């Protein structure tokens, strides 16, 4: 996946960079912030430390990201954007490839992403999340749940009705999967395989029951 970048529409920047040079400088700063986060932890994520790592002045960084909270929010927004783009790719693939085991494919795909997204895991497991990032994470999970809904509908799973109940059930599935994935990656850097397998078993049973109780009306 691409490295840390800022989406001006979703990242709460002090200023939005307009010129290509300014956008490149912001990308450089975010890449440096991710290195600091991964190597030294969230407590080291200060404007002074990140500016030094990026080789820019603190004043230059301060134009866009004035403090640690802003750095955390910007990094998180980049991770959420990339995860949602991966989900969009999986939705398209589901319709083309006609998966027999959508839960297995989705769990394996995102486990593979988490193995390489060291910065995301550092934030995900850390204690330094801001209230803005927590709110953004709640919205992110809703978008991921919508991706699960679209995967199931693309596969015509159990001929399910596309209604509010299905959306709510997909949201519950994402929340459960997130908790189990966190536990799996806390246990092992590559993700505890047995815990990930238990996640698949639980989610297959849950979503099968969801589809059975929400049939499309004739």
Q: 60 in a domain, yes or no?
A: no
Q: 167 in a domain, yes or no?
A: yes
Considering only CA atoms, which of 68, 12, 65 is closest in space to residue 36? 68
Bigger pLDDT: 101 vs 156: 101
Q: What is the pLDDT of residue 47?
A: 94
Q: 143 in a domain, yes or no?
A: yes
Mean of per-residue pLDDT scores for the chain: 87
Asked if the model's pLDDT at residue 85 lies above 80, the reply is: yes
Asked if the model's pLDDT at residue 11 lies above 60, the reply is: no
Separation of alpha carbons 87 and 85, rounded Å = 5
Q: 27-84, pLDDT tens digit by residue?
A: 899 999 999 999 998 889 999 999 999 999 999 888 889 999 999 999 999 999 999 9
Domains identified in the chain, total number: 1
| CATH for 133 | 1.10.357.10
Q: 54 in a domain, yes or no?
A: no
- Are 73 and 11 in contact, with CB atoms under 8 Å apart? yes
Q: How far is CA 205 from CA 36, 103, 168, 171, 181, in A?
A: 41, 10, 16, 15, 17
Q: 37 in a domain, yes or no?
A: no
Asked if the model's pLDDT at residue 109 lies above 90, the reply is: yes
pTM for this entry: 0.86
Q: What is the pLDDT of residue 212?
A: 79
Q: How far is CA 188 from CA 42, 104, 122, in A?
A: 20, 19, 14
Q: 199-217, pLDDT tens digit by residue?
A: 999 999 999 888 777 666 5
Q: How far is CA 103 from CA 28, 124, 158, 166, 174, in A?
A: 36, 22, 14, 16, 11
Angle between the 193-213 and 164-187 helix axes, to the nearest 10 degrees?
170
Q: 166 in a domain, yes or no?
A: yes
């Amino acid at each position: 996946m691409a490295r840390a970048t800022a989406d001006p529409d979703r990242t709460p920047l002090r200023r939005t960079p307009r010129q290509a040079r300014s956008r490149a400088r912001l990308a450089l700063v975010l890449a440096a912030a991710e290195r600091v986060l991964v190597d030294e932890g969230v407590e080291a994520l200060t404007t002074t430390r990140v500016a030094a790592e990026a080789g820019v002045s603190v004043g230059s960084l301060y134009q866009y990201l004035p403090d640690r909270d802003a750095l955390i929010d910007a990094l998180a927004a980049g991770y959420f954007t990339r995860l949602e783009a991966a989900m969009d790719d999986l939705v398209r693939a589901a319709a083309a490839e006609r998966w027999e085991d959508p839960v297995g494919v989705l769990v394996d795909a995102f486990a593979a992403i988490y193995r390489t997204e060291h910065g995301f895991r550092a934030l995900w497991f850390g204690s330094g999340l801001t209230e803005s990032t927590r709110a953004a994470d709640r919205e992110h999970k809703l978008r991921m749940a919508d991706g699960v809904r679209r995967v199931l509908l693309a596969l015509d799973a159990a001929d399910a009705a596309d209604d509010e109940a299905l959306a709510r059930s997909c949201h519950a599935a994402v929340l459960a999967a997130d908790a189990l994935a966190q536990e799996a990656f806390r246990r092992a850097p590559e993700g505890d395989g047995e815990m990930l397998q238990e996640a698949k078993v639980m989610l297959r049973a849950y979503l099968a029951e969801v589809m059975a109780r929400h049939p499309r009306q004739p």
